[in-house]
Structures are given as C-alpha cells and as structure tokens.
Amino acid sequence: MTVRKNQAALTADEKRRFINALLELKRSGRYDTFVTTHNAFIMSDTDNGDRVGHRSPSFLPWHRRFLIEFEQALQSVDATVALPYWDWTADRTSRSSLWAPDFLGGTGRARDGQVLDGAFARSGNRWTITVRVDGRDYLRRDLGAGGRQLPTRAEVDSVLAMETYDTAPWNSSSDGFRNHLEGWRGVNLHNRVHVWVGGQMGTGVSPNDPVFWMHHAFIDKLWADWQARHPRSPYLPAAGTANVVDLRDTMRPWNDVTPADMLDHTPHYTFDTAA
Amino acid sequence: MSNITRRRALGVAAGAAGAAAGIALAGSAVADAPRPAVPAAGPTSFDEVYQGRRIKGGPAHGGHHGGHHGGGYSVTIDGEELHVMQNADGTWISVINHYEPVATPKALARAAVRELQGAPLVPLTLS
C-alpha cells in the first residue's frame, strides 16, 4: 500500500530511491510526457471556456488523477517509492532539507537562475529541460525572490474552514474552498507557492521541477483534510454545467475517470498522518 | 478601444467556434457591458523596447494557430508570440508567469522579459 509521507521525514534511502526513479523516468522520456500534458491544459483551460485541469472545480480531482498516474510511473521503476508531500507552511525557507544537495538541490544562481547542485543540476546531464517555453534547457529556481513568503498555517486553516467546495461561475473568480486553495482569490495558497519557487515552477511547464509533485501532493492532502473537516460538503457542481466538469462527467485526457471516482484517495494511497 | 477591437469582439462572439473567447473579449472590450470587475475599455496596444527587447501587444490578427486565450489580444517578444490569457477579473497571465496575475498585457510582457533574462521564446505550441 502506498503511503505518502512528509518529505521532511524521509530517510536518506527513501530520498535516494525517489531521486533515482525520477531520473529513470526522465531518461526514458516518460517524465516529459507529463510536462507536455500539464502545459497543454494550462494553456487551454480558460475562465469563460472549457476548463478541466485549472481554474475550475476539477482542479483538485484532475491533479489527484495526474499524480496517481505519475506515482504509478515511479513505482514501475521502483515499487517502494511513493510521492512525498511538501508542507510549505512548516518547511518554509530555502534552508530546508528539501533543498539540500542530497534531495532537490537549492536555489538558482543570481546571473541566470540556474540550479547548480543536486541531481537535477544541468551539469549532471541527467535533467535537460526539453519541454520548454524559452530557449533555456537548465532547471532554474529563485526561491523566495523579492522577499516573498510561503503561506502560513493560519492562512491554510482559514481556507480549510470554508464549507462550500466551489461556487458559480466555477472559475478563477469563484468564492469557496477550491478557488481559495488554488489561489486566484483570497490569501492565495497553491499559486503563491509556484511563484515562490520561481524558475520553471512559475511557468506553464512547471512539472519540469520535481518539487511540482511534492507541492501538489500537499495540495491534494489539504483537499483530504478539508473533506475530513466538512464531511457533508459535496463536490460541486453536481450536473448540467456548461464548460465545467460536473461530479459525474469524465475528465480529459483520460476520459474514463470522473470527479466522483477521485473523491476518496484511500483506494490509491494513504498519508502518514490521519487526514 | 479601437473599432477593430469592437468589430473583432462582435465577430468572434457571433461565431459558434469562437464563442467562449468572444464572451471573454466582449466583457472587456464592449464599453457599455455592465461588468464592474472588468475594465470598461479593452487593453490598449503597445509597442516599445523594454530591457533591449521589442515587446508589442494589440488585437490579434488572423493566421495564428489557435493558442489564444487572451480574448483576441496578442503579445509578442522580438516577434515571437507569448501565450497570454485574460482572467475573469480582467487581469492577465502568460505561459511565462502563469501563477501571478498582473493588471495589463504590457505589464505581462515586461514581466516575461525580466523572467527570460535574454533567452528567446520557443515558438508557441498547444500540446
């Protein structure tokens, strides 16, 4: 059974196995297919048109399914690997062990943002950025640029307290839990973390940085935490909504999975803490 | 707001295929649309050299390849198209700064130039 752990609690061996599985997916070309898929949805999900992966109620079930698929790919390389999550309310500085050379490596250098240490540094020749929106083929970061701050636990709790899953018009202007978690409105959780990391994480090809998966694994955990706090609050909308994935509509690109299928994460994995 | 923008807005809104984009554009470009969250006038065109690079923005013209969600508005950096998108509240994001909305397409183009640090944009593709 897959248990997703806080990245801060991983052993040296667990970190090494996770890194090696990432590098093998990258080497075989499978990794970049995930980057391509994400960017295609980023560019096509619009507030007034069809929207599936982002700025819509299905942001959470879509990413849950996307992460399950990615985690299964990792496990096809090493069956012991599970996706760790990054609780950025707790590990909130560039000095966190997350950014050490034995894990994800640190921030980029000032001149060009290039990450110079860790397994994903360009110099190691194992992490060339091939699915990209500009000419640079090396991983970049600018952790906490301009004095930006990651969200606090109190800010997270203020969003978890919201009872309604999502509201019309079901996009980036919505009130409710989903859009506040996604960050287009209010204290801004998910979006702000992408911006805090900087580099490719701030772009449409954000899965080029392996921290993408650990960020989204925590967003996913916050959805589970919210469900535990609001057991009577359903996924919305229920049915008949133009351009939006209702509870029992299938989601692209899989076309065989609905938000209803994704509401319970426990058939797929559990967390190291009670959700 | 230019007449071209208004014509384009109404034209796109009338076509079934472009209806979604048209709604977005109509909300921002039609001056008498009662949408308080969106600026009454559409974004103005611009053409300037910013940090050594030519940035241009204005109503999109035909011939591009379906990647637009800027409501018919196009931004280029040194002639290469920057994928931009307008949010429901009237703010803008691009594929370079995807998670941090800014107020205008010009601010978006400038933010992209700063982020690019001299690197060229890769030609736009969808999937």
Is B87 within 8 Å of chain A by CB?
A: yes
Q: For the whole model, what pTM was predicted?
A: 0.88
| CB < 8 Å to B119, chain A | 134-136
How many CA atoms does the CB half-sphere of B91 hold within 13 Å?
A: 13
Mean pLDDT for chain A?
97
Most A-contacting residue of B97, B99, B121 (CB-CB within 10 A), to test interface: B99
Tell me the pLDDT band of A134, cut-offs 50, 70 and 90. Answer: very high
Using CB atoms, pick whichever of B23, B116, B126 lies closest to residue A134: B116
Using CB atoms, pick whichever of A48, A135, A202 lies closest to residue B97: A202
Structure tokens at A57: 């109620």
Q: Return the pLDDT at B25.
A: 37
Using CB atoms, pick whichever of B24, B88, B122 lies closest to residue A134: B122
Which element (helix H / strand E) includes A4? strand A3-4
* Per-residue model confidence as pLDDT tens digits over A51-83: 999 999 999 999 999 999 999 999 999 999 999
Q: Return the pLDDT at B43.
A: 86
Is B68 within 8 Å of chain A by CB?
A: no
- Which phi and psi (to 5°) does residue A182 adopt? -65, -40
Q: What is the ipTM of this complex?
A: 0.94
Return the exposure string of B88-108: e unless at least 16 CB atoms fall within 10 Å of the residue's CB, then b. Answer: bbbbbbbbbbbbbbbebbbeb
Which element (helix H / strand E) includes A68? helix A59-77
Tell me the pLDDT band of B8, cut-offs 50, 70 and 90. Answer: very low
Q: Coil, strand, or helix at residue B76?
A: strand
Chain A closest-CA separation from residue B31 CA (Å): 19
Q: Please state the rounded mean pLDDT for residues A24-39.
A: 98
B17: nearest CA in chain A? A49
Closest CA to A269 of A234, A217, A233: A217
Is A133 within 8 Å of chain B by CB?
A: yes
